Structure 1
Amino acid sequence: MMPFPSYAAAKIQHLTSPGGIEAWFVQDATVPLVAMEFAMDGGAAQDPNGKAGVGNMVADLIDEGSGDLDSRAFHEHLDRRAIELSFSVTRDYFRGSLRMLKDNRDEAFELLRMSLTSPHFDSDDVERIRAQLISGLKRETSNPGSLASRKFLEIAYGDHPYGRPTGGTLESVPTITTADMKDYVSRVLTREHLKIAVVGDIDAASLGALLDRTFGSLPAKSKLVLVPDIAAGKPPQREFIALDVPQTVVTFGGPGIRRSDPNFMAAFVVNHILGGGSGSRLYREVREKRGLAYSISDSLVWMDHSALFVGSTGTRADRAGETVDALTREIRRMAQDGPTEQELAEAKSYLKGSRMLSLDTSSKLASAMLQYQLDHLSIAYMEQRNALVDAVTIDEAKQAARRLWGDGLLTVIVGRAPETAAQPVAAKPLKAN
């Protein structure tokens, strides 16, 4: 989509349709496009036990024929009008994305309505999608990054729903039935926890009518299984998976800080200093100083019931141990000493500027607006965000660093070098600053 520099300062409206459906909305007629992002509580955490991947299969299938259109006819309608419609699942949410030219908005919203309310789940389509998913899962069995990510989640969350892969497994996907998917749709695809963000060339009255027509006939209430809060597994822990591949992959991380935590913004800033790109400490220490890896980074991951920090890197098999030692030392140093005043100032400057630049299309702004709703933030958060970044003090950043990294790491190593699987020494207590 074309860039819209003004979107960074866009004024977000809180719209309520005549039927009571709420949305965050930015009206902009710069280009005749409309972008909508929406989400419903549920996601992969609502997959039944032993049936990991149900929500993911639903996301792949509800646009494969619905209403009076079979799969081919449905996609021909999308293609003919250049309508972009897609669905996905995260651990906590079933999400949808719709983009169209202004003149095609009625047909676009109607196709979305049909997908949500009358998916066919025809047997031929189900088996075709199932075969594609199984093929992808088989490829993952020889992909070191995929293996490392899966094992990391197992270590972090065990039997909790967050420990299951959202796309399912080679054992679970073949067992998923049409009845499983229809049950998921009836429980999850409802109006109760619906969040919507819309940006583009449409007025509030027209949008309200389209929202009622599209979502109004969904069930009013969800029937969700309770997902308990959980803290990620306590570091230090290390696992090794032997795989004959040219490059060893290392995934590392540990318990994070929840989005609602008062110390979250400090954690966000200090994590950028540690692992946020080519200017980070990990990048300098592991790549630039030692040449151990081409890239290394980590990020905070927050969910409704837990939080993580997760990072990854790849290195030569004979240097995997050295790489793990180097990143562990640097993370330990950050936990002990925290960032410098200069690092903090530079991180704030970058995070403020890059966020503004990242909101340069209708689609990106709609995605950000949806995420703010899912995070239970104020509609004014976009205007407040840079001030919150600026307000982080050096003491808060040091406190966040100690909380994130003071106990050490959960580490998964996948590759040829079994000696890297030696168990780590428990982290020593940190000295008080």
Structure 2
Amino acid sequence: MTRFLALVALVFSAAMARAEVDIQQVESPGGLKAWLVEEPQIPFLALEIAFQGGASLDAPGKRGAINLMTALLEDGSGEMDARAFTDARDSLAASFDYEVSDDTLTISARVLSENRDEALALLRQSIIEPRFDADAIERVRAQVISGIRSDLRDPDAIAGAAWDKMVFGDHPYGSHLDGTVESVAALTRDDLIAAKAATMARDRVYIAAAGDITADELGPLLDALLGDLPETGAPMPADVAVQTEAGVTVVPFDTPQSVAIFGHAGIPRNDDDFFAAYVMNQILGGGGFEARLMDEVREKRGLTYGVYSYIANKDHADLYVGRVASANNRIAEATEVIRDVWTDVAQNGVTQDELDRAKTYLTGGYPLRFDGNARIAGILVGMQLEGLDPEYVNTRNARVEAVTLDDVKRVAARVLKPEALHFVVVGQPDGLETSVGN
């Protein structure tokens, strides 16, 4: 399928370069809604299905159940065990991917037009009739536990876990979606069935299709694929008001290089100032070697190979965070430089040249995201999850271009909070110790 997918990418890239994206809104006879981009030139369909809620819907005491359940969806369904399901999928040259994040359980399908009905019938079987066989559960459970144990020795994973626990506490975001060795070991088949019912329901599904299918064909297909799902799932978790204080939390770990996560509360995706903040971050920490943080921390001082920042919008929390790694004897200096840059942009904004270069990069790179029907389907679902309208793809660059220097200065002063910038450092950092309010 590799050459075939490459051809698909070329067709869609060419289409994106010459025309706007035409997104159709489709409703099935059974009431399921989807977004569609038709492209009949290649006999190929990409389908993206997202269930909002994801691993944050784990029941109390069952952390890791939704992750384990998701991993088992393709390990046997209906009358097929794991091997039979895999053989059937491969014989159809279909591709199914099942992934879960904090907020979303996503199923991605790529199928040829010539056997679309057979391939999607197989996909439906995995969604509606997963077997959760005992041998498959034990095999996948062992893989998950192995990954959890590996993370306990990984400085990046340790830093992420410490940051999440500090920021989110007992909220589901405060622990890793994989669960712990103990929680995963205790999960039963009944727990997996309950996890599926909590997560995979019609009241939280978002769907997108791109490729060789019409709106009239898509509606009945959706009913056949998803119509037998339960109407409702588990309630969504509460929102989190992120609160941090300037300072450092050190997590001792025997490694020659310290890893740090830093940040504070962010800005909601639907905020009127979001685009100005997005452009501002491109200048501060999102633009590779041209970003302020890379220039000051790496280029001028050689303190790291890489440092970056980004706006992290979750369904129930908004953060502004970054990462850096540096030698134990240099991480203290790196954190100070980051804090200084953060403060300078907050107080003084950016230059017109920086703004112009950032907008050129952001607008020039956007069409390149639409390089295949699978990517397009993923983008369309992401837009739905974020509450965007279908015209967003055609107006997004204009919104970036509309950001002015005054906008960035105003938003930098609002969004960047040096008084709340906290660092979680994992390693043996010289000259750093746990402190708050410094």
Task: Give your verdict on TM over 0.5.
Answer: yes
Aligned to 1:420: 432
What's the CA shift for 1:319? 0.8
The superposition leaves residues 339-368 of structure 1 with CA deviations (integer Å, 9 ceiling, x where unpaired) of 222212221111111111121111111111
Partner secondary structure for residue 182 of structure 2: coil
- Mean CA deviation greater in 307-316 or 68-77: 307-316
Cα deviation code 1:34-59 (max 9, x no counterpart): 11111112211110122221111111
Question: Among residues 406, 413, 424, which one is paired with 1:402 in the alignment?
Answer: 413
CA contact (8 A) 1:117 1:217 kept: yes
Aligned counterparts of 1:251 and 1:297: Cα–Cα separation in 2: 10
Structure 2 contact 328–430 (Cα < 8 Å) conserved: no
Q: Within 5 Å, which residues of 2 pair with 1:105-124?
A: 105-124=116-135
Distance 2:414 2:151 in 1: 33
Q: In structure 2, how many angstroms separate the alpha carbons of the residues matched to 1:283 and 1:329?
A: 13
* Alignment partners' CA distance in 1, 2:269 and 2:350: 21
The structure-2 alpha-carbon separation of the partners of 1:185 and 1:422, relative to structure 1 and needing over 3 Å to count, comes to closer
TM-aligned CA deviation for residue 246 of structure 1: 2.8
In 2, Cα distance between equivalents of 1:263 and 1:348: 16
Tell me the residue number matched to 1:239. 249
Which residue of the partner structure matches residue 431 of structure 1? none
Q: 2:331, 2:182 → 1: CA distance?
A: 31
Q: Secondary structure at the match of 1:151?
A: helix
TM-score normalised per structure 1? 0.95
What are structure 1's unaligned runs of at least 5 residues?
Answer: 427-433
Q: 1:248 aligns with which of 239, 254, 258?
A: 258
2:49 paired with 1:38: yes
> Over residues 280-324 of structure 1, what are the superposed CA-to-partner deviations in whole Å (9 max), with x where a residue is unaligned?
111111111111111111111111211112211211111111111
How much does 1:201 deviate? Answer: 1.2
1:362 maps onto 2:373 in alignment:
yes
In the alignment, which residue of structure 1 is the partner of 2:385? Answer: 374
CA distance in 1, matches of 2:297, 2:348: 19
1:7 match:
16
Question: 1:108, CA displacement in angstroms?
Answer: 2.0
Match of 1:263 in 2: 273
Question: What one-letter code is carried by the residue in structure 1 that aligns with 2:145?
Answer: I
Tell me the equivalent position of 1:225. Answer: 235
State whether residues 240 and 418 of structure 1, in contact with CA within 8 Å, keep that contact through their aligned partners in structure 2.
Answer: no
Structure 2 unpaired stretches of 5+: none
> Which deviations, in whole Å up to 9, do the C-alpha atoms of 1:1-53 show, x marking residues without a partner?
32221236321111112222111001102322211111112211110122221
Residue in 2 that maps onto 1:284: 295
CA distance in 1, matches of 2:228, 2:16: 32
| Aligned positions of 1:55-204 closer than 5 A | 55-204=66-215
Residue range with higher mean Cα deviation, 3-12 or 116-125? 3-12
Aligned letter for 2:16? Y
Q: Secondary structure at the match of 1:318?
A: coil
Relative to 1, partners in 2 of residues 1:77 and 1:180: Cα closer, same or farther, differing over 3 Å? same
Matched residue type, 2:274: F
TM-score by length of structure 2 reads 0.93
Alpha-carbon distance in structure 2 between the residues aligned to 1:117 and 1:237: 49
Q: Are 2:217 and 1:206 aligned?
A: yes
Partner residue, 1:29: 40
What does residue 336 of structure 1 align with? 347
* Aligned-partner Cα distance in 2 for 1:304–1:232: 13
C-alpha distance in 1 between matches for 2:300 and 2:119: 52
Deviation at 1:82, TM superposition (A): 2.2
Equivalence for 1:429: none
CA contact (8 A) 2:52 2:385 kept: no
Structure 1 residue 390 corresponds to structure 2 residue 401: yes
Instruction: Work out whether residues 64 and 178 of structure 2, in 8 Å CA contact, stay in contact via their aligned partners in 1.
Output: yes
Does structure 2 conserve the Cα–Cα contact (< 8 Å) formed by 1:154 and 1:164? yes
Partner amino acid, structure 2, of 1:227: P
Between the aligned partners of 1:410 and 1:157, the Cα distance in structure 2 is: 14
Identity of aligned residues (%): 38
**Matched residue pairs, number?**
425
Moved over 3 A (4+): none
Q: Secondary structure at the match of 1:305?
A: coil
Equivalent position of 1:350 in the other structure: 361
- 3-state SS of the aligned residue for 2:69? helix
Please tell me the residue identity of whatever aligns with 1:119: P
State how far apart, in whole Å, the 2-side matches of 1:134 and 1:403 are: 42
* C-alpha distance after superposition, 1:227-261 (max 9, x if no partner): 11112222314211111123211111111111111
The two structures, once aligned, show a CA RMSD in angstroms of 1.5
Query: Is the Cα–Cα contact under 8 Å of residues 157 and 233 in structure 1 kept in the other structure?
Result: no
